[in-house]
Amino acid sequence: MTKTRTKALALLLGIGFTMSAVCAALPASAVNVDALDTSTQMTYPFEQGEDAFRYAPTFTMAAEAGAGNNKWEYVEVKFDGGAKDLRAAEYLAVQIRVDQGDPGLTLGLIENGDRYNNSVGGNAFYFLSEDGTIREMSCLYSAINLGAGACGTLLMPMDSMGWQWNNNSSDLSAVTAFYYTTSTQFNYGYVLTIGSIGYYDGEPGAADTQFVTLADCSEGERSKDLYYVDAVDPDCMKMPSDAGIVEPEAPSIAYPFRQGEGADAWAAVWQGPVNGDSAANWQTLTVKFEEAAVDFSEASYLIIQYQGQVGAPGITFGLENKGARYSVGAPEADGKPVYFMGETDETSRKAANIANGAVTAGSVTGIMGAMIIPMDSMAWQFGEEENRDLSAVDTLVLTTNSQYNYNFRILIGEVGLYTGEAGNCTFTKLLDLSSDRSEKFAVTSDLEANRGTLSFVEADAVRETMGDATVDIKGEGKTNSSFSESGSTGNVVINGSYGSLEVVEDSYGEDALQLTATGITGDGFTAFTLSEGENIDWANGKGVSFWARNDSDAEVSFNLEVDCRIASGVSSRFNILQGSRYWLYDVNTGKTTIYMSRPTATLPAGFEGWVRIPFSAFERASWSSGVSKEEFMSEGSVVSYFGITISAASYLNQSFSINNIGAYSTTPQFSSSFVDAGGKTIPELLGLN
Amino acid sequence: MKKKNLLAIFCALTMSAAIGMMAACVPSDDPGNTPGGDTPGGDTPGGDPQTVYGLPVAESGHYINNSDAFEEDGTRWLFYTTNETSGEEDNVIAVRKASFEEGADKGWAYGEETVALRGTEGGWDEYLGSASVVKGSFEYGGAEYGYLMAYCATPQANETQFSIGLAVAQSPDGAWTKVGTQPVVAFDAANAGSAQTAVGNYAPSLVNYDKEGGVRLFYTFADSYGHFAKFVDIEASDLDAPVLSGEAVVPNHGEIEGGDAVAMFPNADFVYDASGKQFYAVKDYSPTPSQAPAFARRIQLLSIAEGELYTTDLGEGWKGIRTWDNTDTPDGMYERLYGACIVSDAYGHIDGAADAEIVYNICMLEADTDDYLFTQNLMSFEIALS
């Protein structure tokens, strides 16, 4: 990109300009052109003063730290008129006001789902205040803090930005939107107003530089469908005209489905494909009712037992009558509300507004409850006219496009409908799962090669235990997986450095997971995600218990990555540091050892047996915050993520196997031929003897 | 250890001056004649035995380190590592017997040095040292023995990859018979970080737990991750078929003094207070100075409730009793304090003892003498335990 710089003669600013879609910046009355810096004199590109943001939406983001399970809140501002070619852009200009707080913003551009943003730490960005002063800001941890109360234009040099990911060979030739995202783990309680957006094709202030408007807020409020939010509060965006408008109230209804333990019996668990597609690939889950056809003509709400377990895919809910679909995917449904009621809640709440024909219910991920879809929030999307009849609905249909939504897992249980007004309505159950009705569910996709899977929660599935230890994560049900230069396969997510997972037999002939770091790339650590979103309760445990075998010929170490979410909703990552004592019971030698982490969980060469690592060995990861060591595994906490990381550099191709991961409730005691401390040994506690 | 590198000319004057400064040592009129010497003790000691009051002092060109001491029926037995040949590092394990004599300038009167154990050339224990001895009831090869020794050794000349072996005797002054041809705790290259340079298993410290054949072997394991204490219980009444427990890392939390990110527990000696159900340990401070010799500059005495050894539940951990450094040595002249032991009874117990004696090593600095290794000697502290 051309480097020009405008040195400084004072320029009278303060005059408001109504910008056309393309307009020339005022010529700088200076010579000696060079790159933008804090001394650059330039014309303010947007409207100034009291009315500068009079048509701009305001975004009130999560109020609490960690809200939505450390949700990454996301706001997208789509460009006027569709995709724009930004290959000539030198600086992106975003009219923005920080109304409250001072968040660290990750901002950038969207093209084909790829993100071009400020992901490179240390690079300079600039903030042009309405008074013409320019501040330089440095990007840290892929985030920029604009400063509390900042009001002006964010200037983002395009060469200070980069592709955070680019899976579709994007080249900035068809950019569709500007976006920002923040994690509620670190950024909450802030309010932003975003106005017009444009770009400079040269140095701001240079005579031949053009300013191009991408999203124009100067003439009036833009259509709400030109914005997309995925936030803890789906109504976080307010247009100036929204002031005084009363939001529709969440319906007051009684929770109609099973609650508590066993509430998920025989429910279907829809696992999306691990990897996304390069083009549209519609994944579809169909659910049949008890009756072949159901009359929805008097229904006020469609209600579905639902739990988002992993991810927050955009789901299009619909009802079909002989192929005609009545759905949230109809264009007129966009912007309408969909509600959710947790199984222990007394009232429902808004889960999301329908956007782009889908419901993205990230704010309720992890919660078992009911998705409540007003019939008014759906409309006929397609189908033969004669079949557009709600009196004979034969199928509930859920669809999502795995080009954008993949590696998700959602639970769909019983289905029903309400008739009448909320507060005085009648519930009718359409699908009862008090018994195995798996034949009512089916999944399909456009491309058979990359299709989601379906499994069912067995009704009698009580929590599996071995002696005093729970068994929460098993090799059973996993498939061989790999992540290499050629891509990913399998149903276990592997990322970071290259790695493979192979299903092998443990000491008892059960399926176990053999993990291997197979190549060094990225941060040098191979990560295996073994549980995500299952919210495992280890709160009453003493530590982690698992079976393991060192399949290599030398000592091998790995770390256990545990996200502990406490009752308040705050979550933090914990893992093991060097110097902590833990237990090894070798099933071949019969000996129990108190070993030490070297530098993390370590299996000696030749070891095969049971490992018990006390929770006291875990410390909060240096980059994580929120949950204290004292709160780790406290009452009411759950494990929302469990993974294993291996230093690929240190343990390349050194395989080990693991199975039956859970929590133990009794600390073993060391004993020998002449010492009996009174406690039980690991085989006694596990009932192996 | 039998490093065959000949040393530079030893500075006898410097050594003599150093000896004269040792407050805890009460020298005889002629302290330099017998202890140490070109053939210290020897298998067939002869000549005129000299009584040494106070801890023995290494003869010119010799050193004494890694002591172990216990008292039985009014007799004190002092085991230590020394070099058999002046100016060489050809370690042997030596023993001296002492009796206490009342009177001015008297005290523990040490007899002459006897070599208790030598390394086996070409064997796993070619380079050996650091003995620990307890009384008990042990059978080996059809014979009954009353004393068990643990020692560390390696076939490597570069002080790496140590293992721990056992020997038995019917009397502390021998003769000592090695148990088997292999170590009881072997160096395991597959489970040592940077195995080629790992120190391995050293500083054995025996406690006869039940005063019969149930012996607890403490030792230090060291590799690239640090120096940590471990123990293994050995049913040693039949040493032809000893029964070993799994190993257990000793807790490393509590009031442990050290400058490492993870508290280490190097070069420690342990004793057992059965009546108080606690163990005492004296250990080196870590890290060691960068200036040679890389020996510790402080030692620390600690105690821990016995039950904490057998669980991973975090209790109080180690309680610090006293740390000593150079300011506690005569005129503050010794900047290295290391390799200490706690004087115990013959079983490695100090049951209900109100005080203890700590025997430790001192050494001069390389900056003071190139032959600093040959300035290693013993000194002692006394401390009240209650």
Q: Which tokens belong to A603? A: 């299996």
pLDDT at A246: 59
Nearest-by-CA chain A residue for B213: A674
At B259, the pLDDT band (50, 70, 90 cuts) reads very high
Q: Which residue has the higher pLDDT, B15 or B131?
A: B131
Minimum Cα–Cα distance from B315: chain A residue: A616
Does the pLDDT at position B178 exceed 50? yes
Which has the minimum average pLDDT: A78-92, A352-366, A368-382, A407-421?
A: A352-366
Q: Say if A616 is an interface residue toward chain B (CB within 8 Å).
A: yes
A171 touches chain B (CB under 8 A): no
Cα–Cα distance measured from residue A636 to residue A344, given in angstroms and rounded to the nearest whole number: 15
Q: What number is the average pLDDT over the span B196-217?
A: 97
Q: Tens of pLDDT along A430-458?
A: 999 988 899 999 999 999 888 988 888 87
**What pLDDT does residue A462 have?**
60
The three-class DSSP label of residue A550 is strand
pLDDT at A49: 81
Is pLDDT of B237 > 50? yes
Contact by Cβ (8 Å): A480, A503 = yes
Q: How many helices (H) and strands (E) does chain A have?
A: 2, 49
Cβ–Cβ contact A583 with B under 8 A:
yes
Which of the residue ranges A31-35, A72-76, A87-91, B141-145 would you say has the lowest mean pLDDT?
A31-35
Q: Is the pLDDT of residue A553 over 50?
A: yes
- Cβ contact, residue pair B310, A673, below 8 Å: no
Query: Does the CB of A629 have a partner CB in chain B at under 8 Å?
Result: no
- Residue A376, amino acid: D
Query: Which residues in chain B touch residue A675, judged by CB atoms under 8 angstroms apart?
Result: 209, 214, 233, 310
Class of domain B6-384 (CATH, top level)? mainly beta
Beta strands in A457-524 (DSSP E): 465-466, 469-470, 481-484, 487-489, 493-496, 498-505, 511-519
Whether A228 contacts chain B with CB within 8 A? no
Contact between A616 and B235 using a beta-carbon 8 Å cutoff: no
Residue numbers in B near A593 (CB within 8 A): 246-248
Q: What is the pLDDT of residue A356?
A: 84
A675, A680, A681, A685, best to mutate vs chain B, most B CBs in 10 Å: A675
- pLDDT higher than threshold 70 for residue A424: yes
Q: Residue B8 — pLDDT band, cuts 50, 70, 90?
A: very low
How confident is the model at residue A421, as a pLDDT?
A: 79
Cβ <8 Å between B312 and A554: no
Where along chain B do its domains lie?
6-384
Cα torsion through A435, A438, A439, A442, rounded to 10: 150
Cα separation, A623 vs A574, whole angstroms: 10
Task: Read off the pLDDT band of A678 (50, 70, 90).
Answer: confident
Asked whether the predicted pLDDT for residue A20 surpasses 90, the reply is: no
Q: Is A652 helix (H, G, I), strand (E, B) or coil?
A: strand
Q: How confident is the model at residue A34 (pLDDT cuts 50, 70, 90)?
A: very low
Mean pLDDT check: name the lowest of A281-285, A347-351, A456-460, B71-75: A456-460
CB contact under 8 A, A583 and B309: no
Residue of chain B whose Cα is closest to the Cα of A577 = B262
Is the model's pLDDT at B152 over the cut of 70? yes
Between A441 and A2, residue with greater pLDDT:
A441
Contact (CB<8Å) A594/B246: yes
- pLDDT for res A14: 27
**Using the beta-carbon criterion (under 8 Å), do A581 and B247 form an inter-chain contact?**
no
| Residues A288-339 pLDDT 10s | 999 999 999 999 999 999 999 888 899 999 999 999 999 999 999 988 899 9
A chain contacts of residue B247, beta-carbon cutoff 8 Å: 593-595
- Residue B248 CA to residue B307 CA, distance in Å, equals 13
Comparing CA positions, the residue from A505, A498, A439 lying closest to residue A651 is A498
**Least confident stretch, A13-17, A372-376, A556-560:** A13-17
In this structure, are residues B164 and B231 in contact, taking their beta carbons and an 8 Å threshold? no
Compare CB distances from B190 to A543, A553, A584 and report the shortest one's residue: A553
pLDDT (0 to 100) of residue B72: 97
Contacts of A666 in chain B (CB under 8 A): none
Region B270-286 average pLDDT: 97
Q: Which residue of A has its CA nearest to B192?
A: A555
Residues of chain B whose beta carbon is less than 8 angstroms from a beta carbon of chain A are: 188, 190-193, 209-210, 214, 225-226, 228, 233, 235, 243-249, 251-252, 261-263, 307, 309-314
Q: What was the pLDDT predicted at B24?
A: 33
User: Looking at beta carbons, which residues of chain A come within 8 Å of B228?
Assistant: 579, 596
Tell me which residue of A309, A447, A298 sits closest to A368, measured CA to CA: A309
Q: What per-residue confidence (pLDDT) applies to A631?
A: 93
Of A260, A266, A608, A605, nearest to A454 (Cα)?
A266
The alpha-carbon gap from B273 to the nearest alpha carbon of chain A, in Å, equals 15
Nearest to B225 among A598, A616, A677 (CB): A598
**Both structure tokens of B334:** 């010794």
Listed residue (A398, A425, A186, A387) closest to A287, CA to CA: A398
- Mean pLDDT within B105-124: 95
- A481-484 and A227-230: which strand pairing? unpaired
Which of A598, A667, A674 is facing B313, going by the closest CB pair?
A667
Does residue A587 belong to the interface with chain B, where contact is any CB pair within 8 Å? no
Best A585, A672, A676 member to test B by mutation, with max B CBs in 10 Å, is: A672
Q: What is the pLDDT of residues A169-210, one digit of tens each?
A: 899 999 999 999 998 888 898 999 999 999 999 988 888 888
Tell me whether A614 touches chain B (CB under 8 Å). Answer: yes
Q: A581–B226: do the CB atoms touch at under 8 Å?
A: no
Which is higher by pLDDT, B121 or A241? B121
Asked if A169 contacts A113 with a C-beta cutoff of 8 angstroms, the reply is no
Q: With an 8 Å Cβ cutoff, is A3 touching chain B?
A: no
Instruction: Report the chain A residue with the minimal C-alpha distance to residue B189.
Output: A554
Q: Residue B38 pLDDT > 70, yes or no?
A: no
Residue A70: strand, helix, or coil: helix
Q: Is the pLDDT of residue B39 over 60?
A: no
Q: Which residue has the higher pLDDT, A36 or A563?
A: A563
pTM (predicted TM-score): 0.64
A422 has pLDDT over 90 = no
User: Is the pLDDT confidence value at A656 over 90?
Assistant: yes
Beta bridge partners, B305, equal B278
Contact status, residue B361 vs residue B337, Cβ threshold 8 Å: yes
- A371-410 as b/e, with b when 16 or more CB fall inside 10 Å? bbbbbebbbbbebeeeebbbeebbbbbbbbbbbbbbbbbb
The whole-number pLDDT of residue B227 equals 96
Once rounded to an integer, what is the mean pLDDT over residues B3-20? 30
The confidence score (pLDDT) of residue A21 equals 29
Cβ-based contacts of B307 with chain A (< 8 Å): 677
Q: Helices (DSSP H) in B224-323: which residue ranges?
A: none
**pLDDT of A67:** 80
Q: How confident is the model at residue A497 (pLDDT cuts 50, 70, 90)?
A: very high
Contacts of A677 in chain B (CB under 8 A): 307, 310-311
Q: Is the pLDDT of residue B46 over 80?
A: no
Range A263-269 average pLDDT: 91
The vertex-B179 CA angle with B177 and B182, nearest 5°, equals 130
- Which residue of A670, A676, A681 is the best one to mutate when testing the B interface, meaning the one whose CB has the most B CBs within 10 A? A670
Whose tokens are 């993390």? That residue is A600
H or E segment at A110? strand A104-111
Query: B235 and A672: CB-CB below 8 Å?
Result: yes
Q: Is A375 strand, coil or helix?
A: helix
How confident is the model at residue B44, as a pLDDT?
33
Contact between chains at B312 and A667 (C-beta distance less than 8 A): yes
Q: How far apart are CA A644 and CA A656, in angstroms?
A: 11
pLDDT of residue B331: 87
At A672, the pLDDT band (50, 70, 90 cuts) reads: very high
CA proximity to A594, closest of A575, A614, A577, A574: A614
Average pLDDT, chain A: 88
Decide if pLDDT at B28 tops 70. no
Which of A50-54, A346-350, A460-464, B211-215: highest mean pLDDT? B211-215
Which chain B residues touch A592 with a CB distance below 8 Å?
A: 245-246
Q: Do A616 and B243 touch (CB under 8 A)?
A: no
CA angle B164, B168, B171 (to 5 degrees): 135
Mean pLDDT for the stretch of residues A678-684: 90
- Confidence (pLDDT) at A9: 27
Q: Do A674 and B209 touch (CB under 8 A)?
A: yes
Query: In a 10 Å sphere around its CB, with 0-12 CB exposed, 13-18 middle and 19+ buried, how is residue B57 labelled?
Result: buried
- Whether residue A649 lies within 8 A of chain B, CB to CB, comes out as no
Q: How many Å apart are CA A399 and CA A382, to the nearest integer?
A: 14
Whether residue A589 contacts residue A664, with contact meaning beta carbons closer than 8 Å, is answered with no
pLDDT (average), residues A521-550: 93
Indicate yes or no: CB of B245 within 8 angstroms of CB of A591: yes
Q: Quick check: A674 and B247 CB within 8 A?
A: no
> Sorting pLDDT into bands at 50, 70 and 90, what band is A24?
very low
- pLDDT attached to residue A89: 94
Q: Which of B22-31, B205-214, B239-248 has the lowest mean pLDDT?
A: B22-31
Q: Which residue has the higher pLDDT, B232 or A235?
A: B232
Which residue, A233, A240, A455, is CA-closest to A362? A233
Q: Return the DSSP state at B85.
A: S
Higher pLDDT, A36 or B202: B202
Give the pLDDT score at B45.
35
How many Cβ pairs within 8 Å bridge chains A and B? 100
Quote the pLDDT of residue A16.
27
Please state, in angstroms and rounded to a whole number, the distance separating the CA atoms of residues B123 and B121: 5
Interface check for A605 against chain B (CB to CB < 8 A): the answer is yes
Please give the pLDDT value at position B166: 98
| Distance, CA of A56 to CA of A195 (rounded, Å) | 5
The yes-or-no verdict on residue A461 having pLDDT over 60 is no
Q: What pLDDT score does A221 carry? A: 84
Q: Which residues of A touch B314 (CB under 8 A)?
A: 614, 616
Helix or strand run (H / E) with residue A418: strand A409-421
From CA B142, how far away is CA B133, in angstroms rounded? 21
Q: What is the mean pLDDT of residues B104-116?
A: 93
ipTM score assigned to the predicted complex: 0.88
Q: Are B338 and B361 in contact (CB under 8 A)?
A: yes
Residue A271, Ramachandran bin (φ over 0: left; ψ between -120 and 50: alpha; else beta): beta
Contact flag B311-A677 (C-beta cutoff 8 Å): yes
Q: Do A579 and B210 touch (CB under 8 A)?
A: no
Mean pLDDT of B17-21: 31
- Under 8 Å between Cβ of A406 and A337: no
What's the Rg (C-alpha) of chain B?
19
> Predicted confidence band at B253 (pLDDT cuts at 50, 70, 90)?
very high
With 60 as the cut, is the pLDDT of residue B165 above it? Answer: yes
What is the spatial distance between Cα A344 and Cα A364, in angstroms, rounded to a whole number? 13
**Polymer length in residues for chain B:** 386
**What pLDDT is stored for residue A460 in this prediction?**
57
